[in-house]
Amino acid sequence: MFHCPVPIGREMNVICRIILAALASLLVLIQANGSSYASDGLAALTFQVAGDELRTRVVINFDSEPDISTMLLEHPHRLVVDLPKTVFAFDRKSVEPHGLVDDVRYGMLDAERARLIFSLKGPFSVERIDVIKNDSSPGYRLVADLVASSDRQFAEDLKTQNATTSSTESTSKGDRIAGATPDQTSNAPKPFTVVIDPGHGGIDSGAESASGIMEKNVTLMFAQQLREELAKIPGLRIEMTRNDDTFLRLTERVRIARQYEADLFISLHADTINRGNIRGATVYTVSDKASDAESRAMADRENRADAVAGIAFDNETPEIADILMDLTRRETHNFSLSFAKSVVSSLKKDVNMINNPHRFAGFQVLRAPDVPSVLVEIGYLSNAEDEKLMLDPAWRTHVATRLATAVAEFSSLKTAGALN
Ligand SMILES: [Zn+2]
């Protein structure tokens, strides 16, 4: 979020923050020729954004208490914050796309009203938006926590808003949401949804074989084959996190799974492993404790995918506070384990697998609390025989068929409620 220009402790950081906020206020006053903002509207002094594609916090500091109203817009997914007359005095450079926030616009609507518009990467919900009086510095801050949600949830939120805002005076001047929301929230049962995640992509090419074959291409080829096989199963909805050579952050992959309310998330990989004699398919599920040293090393490397692409790790991501999350996670985890079991029993019939083919480690990409997730290494690019197989379309088709069988089995058990 905020970083003081010198490396200092937490308390000093706070003091530094206060001094900077005071300087910003002073600057605003100077720019305004000494006139007071009490009579000339609000001043927005600083803008901060932190978090990732799953959870983003925006904090805006004001010189006095802002009276806000908000609304949601779609196409693209947007959050509008209406303010009284406001001078936007924060540094333009602090308003950068970050986490869920793709774009921020702000300015005066007319002589009396100002507006901030946040465009987001996908459906979201406003978990919290508060105006809080600062304790240690003058003024107030607006704190908004935006959380990635599903298409269905967003459509519902829009619907609720449209039903309640039609009588609200704050939207009386023609800025009401245009048109009604198409009815995406009909009560038809949601199809069993599988999100296929071809590992790596774009600037992050993943592992590379001795002959120069790149993991990102192997995973995409296999993912496309798997999609074809899954399409043969009636009643399935299949989505991909990427269908070309683009880079995606790990949290963006998880966000996409949640956007579609996936019943199953399958991340596909073809890594290298230090010992060239290790080969065969492996199915990983998430765990804080790794099953073995190799799995731990594998997860560590996968988790560095964002860093490989030059994206700094944001360690100020707001914590998930929901205690219900733990319960969801436990149920989700059981589903992940049972799918992993199905995959192993389907593949081991005639696909070469590693010893102990179900392993676990702390993969970030498998951490959606509500989406059963597995990571499948279809083989290892460090092994010449595996490499040869993975480049063979007939082999890929065969393995994809076996995986699809496991998906069919899992989806029928889960739909029948036979997995709890
Ligand atoms: Zn990989």
Give the residue with greater pLDDT, 322 vs 261: 261
Asked, for residue 24, whether it belongs to a domain, the answer is no
Ligand 1 centroid–CA 66 distance in Å is 47
What is d(CA 144, CA 131) in angstroms, rounded to the nearest whole number? 9
pLDDT one-digit tens code per residue, 262-274: 999 999 999 998 7
Ligand 1 centroid–CA 30 distance in Å is 54
Ligand 1 centroid–CA 189 distance in Å is 34
What is d(CA 31, CA 33) in angstroms, rounded to the nearest whole number? 5
Count of the separate structural domains present in the chain: 2
Q: Which residues contact 17 (CB under 8 A, 6 or more apart)?
A: 2, 4, 137
One domain for residues 264 and 358 = yes
Asked, for residue 1, whether it belongs to a domain, the answer is no
Quick check: 32 pLDDT over 60? Answer: no
One domain for residues 342 and 257 = yes
Alpha helix positions (H), 198-354: 215-230, 250-259, 293-303, 305-308, 324-347
Please state, in angstroms and as integers, the Cα–Cα distance from residue 243 to each residue in 199, 202, 216, following that order: 11, 11, 11
Please compute the mean of the pLDDT values over residues 128-135 and round it to a whole number: 95
Max mean pLDDT among 48-57, 239-248, 304-313 falls in 239-248
Hey, which bits of 231-304 come out as E strands?
A: 236-240, 264-269, 281-286
One domain for residues 84 and 225 = no
Domain that residue 232 falls in: 190-313+321-415
Ligand 1 centroid–CA 293 distance in Å is 16
Ligand 1 centroid–CA 310 distance in Å is 17
Instruction: Give the three-class secondary structure for 263.
Output: coil
Ligand 1 centroid–CA 198 distance in Å is 9
One domain for residues 133 and 270 = no
Quick check: 192 pLDDT over 90? Answer: yes
One domain for residues 246 and 381 = yes
Of 160, 178, 200, the one marking the end of a domain is: 160
Work out the angle at residue 164's Cα, subtended by the Cα atoms of residues 163 and 166, and round it to the nearest 5 degrees.
80
One domain for residues 298 and 252 = yes
Of 118, 144, 160, the one marking the end of a domain is: 160
Ligand 1 centroid–CA 87 distance in Å is 48
Asked, for residue 90, whether it belongs to a domain, the answer is yes
Annotate 276-293 with b (16+ C-beta within 10 A) or e (fewer). eebbbbbbbbbbeebeee
One domain for residues 247 and 201 = yes
What per-residue confidence (pLDDT) applies to 163? 83
Ligand 1 centroid–CA 254 distance in Å is 15
One domain for residues 220 and 336 = yes
Asked, for residue 35, whether it belongs to a domain, the answer is no
Ligand 1 centroid–CA 206 distance in Å is 5
Domain with 122 in it: what CATH number? Answer: 2.60.40.3500
Please compute the mean of the pLDDT values over residues 71-83 and round it to a whole number: 96
Comparing 61-70, 154-163, 397-406, the range with the smallest average pLDDT is 154-163
Asked, for residue 8, whether it belongs to a domain, the answer is no
Task: Tell me the DSSP string of 351-377.
Answer: S-EEEEEEEEE--GGG--TTS-EEEEE
One domain for residues 202 and 140 = no
pLDDT one-digit tens code per residue, 33-70: 434 444 578 999 999 999 999 999 999 999 999 999 99
What per-residue confidence (pLDDT) applies to 166? 57
pTM value is 0.78
Ligand 1 centroid–CA 231 distance in Å is 25
Asked, for residue 92, whether it belongs to a domain, the answer is yes
Ligand 1 centroid–CA 209 distance in Å is 12
Ligand 1 centroid–CA 301 distance in Å is 8
Ligand 1 centroid–CA 199 distance in Å is 6
Give the residue with greater pLDDT, 416 vs 143: 143
Please check whether residue 383 is in contact with residue 377, taking contact to mean a CB–CB distance below 8 angstroms.
no
What per-residue confidence (pLDDT) applies to 303? 87
Q: Which two tokens stand for residue 288?
A: 């804080």
Residue 420 binned pLDDT confidence (cut-offs 50, 70, 90):
low
- Average pLDDT across the chain, whole number: 84
Ligand 1 centroid–CA 49 distance in Å is 30
One domain for residues 143 and 194 = no
Quick check: 353 pLDDT over 60? Answer: yes
One domain for residues 270 and 347 = yes
Of residues 238, 191, 202, the one with CA closest to residue 400: 238
What per-residue confidence (pLDDT) applies to 17? 58
What per-residue confidence (pLDDT) applies to 377? 96
Ligand 1 centroid–CA 380 distance in Å is 10
Of residues 227, 208, 225, the one with CA closest to residue 216: 208
Residue 141 binned pLDDT confidence (cut-offs 50, 70, 90):
very high
Asked, for residue 53, whether it belongs to a domain, the answer is yes
Ligand 1 centroid–CA 76 distance in Å is 31
What per-residue confidence (pLDDT) applies to 33? 41
Quick check: 19 pLDDT over 70? Answer: no
Please check whether residue 46 is in contact with residue 94, taking contact to mean a CB–CB distance below 8 angstroms.
yes
One domain for residues 259 and 153 = no
Of residues 46, 13, 34, the one with CA closest to residue 140: 46
Ligand 1 centroid–CA 255 distance in Å is 19
Annotate 394-415 with b (16+ C-beta within 10 A) or e (fewer). ebbebbbbbbbbbbbbbbeebe
Comparing 20-24, 28-32, 62-66, the range with the smallest average pLDDT is 28-32
Domain with 282 in it: what CATH number? Answer: 3.40.630.40
Ligand 1 centroid–CA 304 distance in Å is 10
Ligand 1 centroid–CA 57 distance in Å is 30
Please compute the mean of the pLDDT values over residues 344-364 and round it to a whole number: 93
Asked, for residue 325, whether it belongs to a domain, the answer is yes
Please check whether residue 90 is in contact with residue 47, taking contact to mean a CB–CB distance below 8 angstroms.
yes
What per-residue confidence (pLDDT) applies to 13? 57
What per-residue confidence (pLDDT) applies to 338? 94
Please state, in angstroms and as integers, the Cα–Cα distance from residue 227 to each residue in 166, 242, 317, 341, 415, following that order: 43, 12, 33, 21, 20
Instruction: Give the three-class secondary structure for 156.
Output: helix
What per-residue confidence (pLDDT) applies to 265? 97
What are φ and ψ of residue 278, in 5° steps? Answer: -80, 130
Please state, in angstroms and as integers, the Cα–Cα distance from residue 192 to each residue in 177, 353, 366, following that order: 32, 28, 19
